[in-house]
Structure 1
Amino acid sequence: MSFPILQKYLARLSDATGAATSIWLDHEGKAQGRFFNCTMSSAFQPIRQADSGAVHAYEGLARSVSAQDQGLSLWKLLDHAASDDESIELDRLCRMLHSINFFRQADSAPSAHADLYLNVHDRLLSAVSSNHGHAFRRILDALELPVERVVLQLPAATPQQGWLLNYVSDNYRRNGFRFAVNVAGARDGLHVLGRLRPDVLKLDARDLQDQAALLELLQRCAADKVTLVFKRLETPQQLTALRQLGDTAGVSLLVQGYLLDEPRAALLEPARRAA
Structure 2
Amino acid sequence: MTYVGLNHYLNSLPTQSGSHLFSGKDGRISARFFNARLSSVFQPIRSSVDCRLLGYEAFVRTLSLNDQGLSIWKLLEHATTDDESVELDRLCRLLHAINFFRQTVMEKSDLYLSVHNRLLTAVAGNHGAAFQRVLSKLDIPQKNIVLQLPAIVPSQRWAITHVAENYRRNGFRLAVHAQNIEQAFDLLERVRPDVIKLHLHSSLADKDVWLFEDLLRQAAQQACLIVVRKVDQLQAFHKLRELADDRLLFAVQGNAIDIARSNLIDAVVKSSPKFQVKNGFGDKSQQACC
TM-score in terms of structure 2 length: 0.89
SS in 1 for 2:61: strand
1:266 aligns with 2:282: no
Aligned residue type for 2:12? R
In the other structure, the counterpart of 1:137 is 132
Partner of residue 252, structure 1: 249
In the TM superposition, 1:43-192 aligns within 5 A as 43-105=41-103, 107-108=104-105, 111-192=106-187
Distance 1:228 1:150 in 2: 17
Which amino acid in the other structure matches residue 174 of structure 2?
A: F
Q: Aligned partners of 1:76, 1:272: CA distance in 2, in Å? A: 33
The residue identity in structure 2 corresponding to 1:223 is Q
Q: Out of 202-211 and 188-197, give the one that drifted further.
A: 202-211
Whether 2:20 is the aligned partner of 1:25: answer no
CA contact (8 A) 1:206 1:238 kept: no
- Deviation by residue 1:105-144 (Cα, 9 ceiling, x = unmatched): 0x23xx1210000010101111001111111111111101
Higher helix share: 1
Partner of 2:40: 42
8 Å CA contact 1:206, 1:233 repeated in 2: no
In 1, distance between residues paired with 2:87 and 2:45?
A: 27
Q: Which residue of 1 aligns with 2:217?
A: 219
Residue type of the alignment partner of 1:121: H
* Conserved? CA contact 2:180–2:200, under 8 Å: no
Equivalent-residue separation in structure 2 for 1:140 and 1:16 (angstroms): 22
Question: Could you say if the C-alpha distance between residues 198 and 273 of structure 1 is closer, same or farther in structure 2, counting changes exceeding 3 Å?
Answer: farther
Cα pair 1:242 1:253 within 8 Å, conserved? no
Letter of the structure 1 residue corresponding to residue 255 of structure 2: Y
Identity %: 43
Q: Judge conservation of contact 1:221–1:228 (CA < 8 Å) in 2.
A: yes
Shift of 1:271: 5.1
Amino acid at match of 1:151: V
Kindly indicate whether the alpha-carbon contact (under 8 Å) linking 2:101 and 2:107 is maintained by their aligned counterparts in 1.
Answer: no
**Preserved CA contact (<8 Å) 1:137 1:147:** yes
Distance 2:17 2:32 in 1: 8
Aligned AA for 1:23? L
Aligned to 1:12: 12
Could you tell me which amino acid in structure 2 is paired with residue 234 of structure 1?
Answer: D
Q: Tell me how far apart the structure 1 counterparts of residues 211 and 164 of structure 2 sit (CA, whole Å).
A: 24
Q: Which amino acid aligns with 2:10?
A: L
Which ranges in structure 1 are unaligned for 5 or more consecutive residues? none
CA contact (8 A) 1:54 1:273 kept: no
Partners of 1:237 and 1:215 lie apart in 2 by 19
Q: Counterpart of 1:102 in 2: which secondary structure?
A: helix
The Cα shift of 1:18 comes to 2.3
Q: State the secondary structure of the residue aligned to 1:122.
A: coil
Secondary structure of the corresponding residue to residue 244 of structure 2:
helix
Poorly superposed stretches of 4+, deviation over 6 Å: none
- After superposition, the Cα gap between the structure-2 partners of 1:201 and 1:270, relative to the gap in structure 1 and judged at 3 Å, is closer
Q: Give the unaligned 5+ runs of structure 2.
A: 272-288
**Structure 1 residue 158 displacement after superposition:** 1.5
Q: What amino acid is the match of 1:60?
A: A
In structure 2, how many angstroms separate the alpha carbons of the residues matched to 1:236 and 1:228? Answer: 20
CA-CA distance at 1:85 after TM superposition: 0.3
Matched positions, count: 269
- Distance, in Å, in 1 between the alignment partners of 2:210 and 2:248 is 15
Q: Is the 8 A contact 1:31 1:97 kept in 2?
A: yes
Match of 2:284 in 1: none
